[in-house]
Chain A
Amino acid sequence: MTGVEARPIVLVVEDEPLLRLFAMDMIEEAGFEVLDARNTAEALTMMETCAGIRVVFTDVDMPGGADGIALATSIRRQWPKIAIVITSGKPWPIGIRLPEDAVFFSKPYRQDRVIATIRDMAG
């Protein structure tokens, strides 16, 4: 085992450009490789084409149909090993269960806690 181990990949899904940039920057700083998607559809395409994604960091409220909760649910179904971090400006909706191995952060979130969670998930 001499090869350099690839850095774990985190996929950031956020429609708001500034917040996307901020999240990518924060996660990159923490030593991860970062991919980004602007909506659920883009995110799912990336999931299918890129094998190394370990954590998906997604917003809930995004335009264009399916939201972050739906995305989290389909990821959990298709890629059970990928961890999920969900973030939203709204409180977590009452009566909906958080998918297994998913963590919710209300916006604005504490960067150190988000990073600690992602580190933990990426193993």
Chain B
Amino acid sequence: MSTEQDASRARALASLRVLDTPEEQAFEDIVFIASQTCDAPIALISLLDTDRQWFKARHGLDVGETPIDQSVCRIDIDDAHLLEVTDLSQDGRTHANPLVTGERTFRYYAGAPLTLRSGEVVGRLCVIDTTARPAGLSDTQKTLLLALARQASDHLELRRIARASERMAELQTALVEIGEHIRNSPDASQMTHAAAKIVGRVLNVERAGFGFVDDDVRSIDIESDWTAPGTASIAGRHRFEDYGAIRDHLARGEPLVIEDVLTDERTAADPAAMQAVGVEALVNMPVRQHDRTVAALIVNSAHRRIWMPEELTFLRSVADRLEAGVARFRGEQQQEMLNGEISHRLKNMLSMVQAIASQTLRDVPDRRPVETFEQRLMALSAAHDVLLQKSWINADLRTVADAVIDTVGFGDRVHMAGPPVALGARAALSFSLVLHELMTNACKYGALCRENGRVDVGWSIEGTGDDADLVMHWRESGGPLVVPPTRRGFGSKLVRMGLVGAGGVDLRYEPTGFQADLQASIRHLAQA
């Protein structure tokens, strides 16, 4: 019996996930029927592991397993035929077996192979008697025993399929959970950590992590990995060649699946590096982009283990999703950097316009227009700052107002009250100029040119849905007696353009204080 076949049998057996599981009625029934059919006191479903035979079901025997060298079932196991020994004490293969010579005094044995669909024989359904039976089983009994063995094998495989589909449902749930983290995490490292934690939990391993590999697939940068309590993190850069011949698989884009670092040909030569980080079994699942391996999901187990096909499928899905998630974050980051850069240049350009104007107009004796120009530039720039903080998507009205008022001053005498209102980029810029004009007018002619003067700015939303309007009231009080202006300057035209450049403005020069009512559709305000 070759050890290679034994190892292959042990693998097939392990993938059935049946060893050391509790009693199941279907198998108990089979051994009972076998014992009755063959009129034998003992019947067993014996599974042949590498170092023991383990009984999935037993009738008439009080032990659950025996060492493999006491197994009668393993004799000629690879022949896949019914094995019958009419007198164990007379047979050269069994006469010295402790089960024969000892107090159990086994004398008769008949065992039918448990053959899986793959052809692998994983054990036998056997009947045992304590007295020799020179006549052996009848042909009918043999046929029935073989049929029962087929039933047992089938049931072992069906059982495995049922377990696998339960497992797949479990893994599917985990995948959904990971998807949620990928969508909702605020940054890439929290996302990979959350995903690694779920992978670690559902696979019951000691460590899981995700990392990008360098262009030559020589090393990997593992981001914040998840580890079980008592297991150290391996976050950081690792060279593949330090851990064995594990690189080529990844470079080719094939998953690296190692069940036991001590026996796997890629790591067996020097498993010390793997063992040093507590790895006995592992999966490195590559992520491909444009025919190139760009990243890998790594899963480490501190015990040798067989990785099931559905687990590998699961890991592939997780790896793909993580890569897409990280790529999205990188895209956003790049976009943000680009926005920042463009904005920075735009503001330098505004500064240069300011510089050129200032130099060009330095000999103009009347400083007021020059100052007005500079201040209008500031108001625009202030709105720009607020927009930039939201990547130019929208800006809050109050935030823009605060920024503009800050460029003019007297903020302590302007009292604002109103709900949050989102301004699109265009509305934010025109609103900043309108507000700036109102402020400078108040400083020059209105309430803010007297120490006790004040401005109340209130706004509210009237109507709902698409018909909702923003209504803003500007009320000055405590200033000098108001005299309506005799001519309309550019500033006043600016104000009359209104909040979105479409009017909706009512200006009243009440003797007690200037008043402005501004109205605009919320929908227009929010448009970019």
Q: Measuring CB to CB, which residues of chain A are less than 8 angstroms from any residue of chain B? A: 16, 18-19, 21-22, 25-26, 61, 88-91, 106-111
Q: Mark B335-374, 1 if CB is under 8 A from A, else 0.
A: 0000010011111101111111011000000000000001
Interface residue B388 (Cβ < 8 Å from any Cβ of A): yes
- Residues of B within 8 Å of A91, CB to CB, are 385, 388-389
CB distance B344 to A61 under 8 Å?
Answer: yes
Tell me the smallest distance from the CB of B229 to a CB of chain A, in Å: 32
- Residues of B within 8 Å of A108, CB to CB, are 347, 350-351, 353-354, 377-378, 381
- Residues of B within 8 Å of A88, CB to CB, are 344
Closest partner residue, chain B, to A112 (CB atom) = B371
Closest 4 CB pairs of A and B: A22-B355, A89-B347, A89-B344, A108-B351
> Can you give 29 A-B contacts (C-beta < 8 A)?
A16-B352, A18-B352, A18-B356, A19-B352, A22-B351, A22-B354, A22-B355, A61-B344, A89-B343, A89-B344, A89-B345, A89-B346, A89-B347, A89-B348, A89-B351, A90-B340, A90-B344, A91-B389, A106-B347, A107-B347, A107-B351, A108-B351, A108-B353, A108-B354, A108-B377, A108-B381, A110-B378, A111-B358, A111-B374
- Residues of B within 8 Å of A90, CB to CB, are 340, 343-344, 347
CB distance B350 to A107 under 8 Å?
Answer: yes
Closest partner residue, chain A, to B408 (CB atom) = A110
- Residues of A within 8 Å of B378, CB to CB, are 108, 110
Contact-residue size bin, chain B (C-beta under 8 Å from the other chain): 20 to 34
Q: Give A109 to B377 CA distance when docked, in angstroms.
A: 10
Interface residue B375 (Cβ < 8 Å from any Cβ of A): yes
Interface residue B70 (Cβ < 8 Å from any Cβ of A): no
Interface residue B407 (Cβ < 8 Å from any Cβ of A): yes
Closest partner residue, chain A, to B386 (CB atom) = A91
Tell me the smallest distance from the CB of B387 to a CB of chain A, in Å: 12
Q: Give A19 to B354 CA distance when docked, in angstroms.
A: 9
Given A91-B385, A108-B351, 12 more contacts at CB 8 Å? A18-B352, A19-B355, A22-B354, A26-B358, A88-B344, A89-B346, A91-B389, A108-B347, A108-B354, A108-B381, A110-B374, A110-B378
Q: With A108-B378, A108-B381, A110-B374 in contact, is A22–B358 under 8 Å at CB?
A: yes
